[in-house]
Homo-oligomer: A and B are copies of this chain.
């Protein structure tokens, strides 16, 4: 168990220095939890009491709409998944977080977060780093949905997140692009024929 938490400690230590007692606090207080494929880490409408650091697996962020599910983002190992807004303001979450495969995470409850902030003000800095990361992701989501066509978004994926194309099922990629699986096939074919010409 402790060597799994090590991934989180490594992530923290990319940003701040940790004393031995801080590492012990983290190892002793933060829980590891396993989700099966399709399990929900957070459901839209719930008030989020915890956020997650992914040790293994992947998580899909999606919105329920009247008609369909709209996928907005995918998270993989060594990243945080949350509804920051729901967590900090204790208001209903606007999105779902769902395991795409068997997924293991470190759970950070509100109590854990306060515990860390009490331990040292440097965790305040860490909180800001994480928030900045989430802001960037939201900026990307907005830009992608608002300003790009499905084909542009696919090309962006190829360039910036090739791992998504490897690891995520085609029909999920299609919901991310907002097109049918058939349209996705046509987009891929068009791009391939452009690459060859």
State A95–B139 Cα separation when bound (angstroms): 9
State the interface size on chain A (CB cutoff 8 A).
32
What is the distance, in angstroms, from A95's C-beta to the closest C-beta of chain B? 8
Q: Is B128 a contact partner of A84 (Cβ separation < 8 A)?
A: no
State A136–B65 Cα separation when bound (angstroms): 19
Q: A124-B128, A139-B94 are in contact. Are A147 and B70 (CB under 8 A)?
A: yes
7 tightest Cβ-Cβ pairs between the two chains A and B: A138-B138, A65-B147, A63-B147, A70-B146, A94-B143, A85-B139, A85-B136
Return chain B residues, CB-CB under 8 Å to A139.
83, 85, 94, 138
Interface flag for A160 (CB, 8 Å): no
Q: Is A135 a contact partner of B70 (Cβ separation < 8 A)?
A: no
Q: Is A148 a contact partner of B88 (Cβ separation < 8 A)?
A: no
Return chain B residues, CB-CB under 8 Å to A64.
147
What is the distance, in angstroms, from A159's C-beta to the closest C-beta of chain B? 16
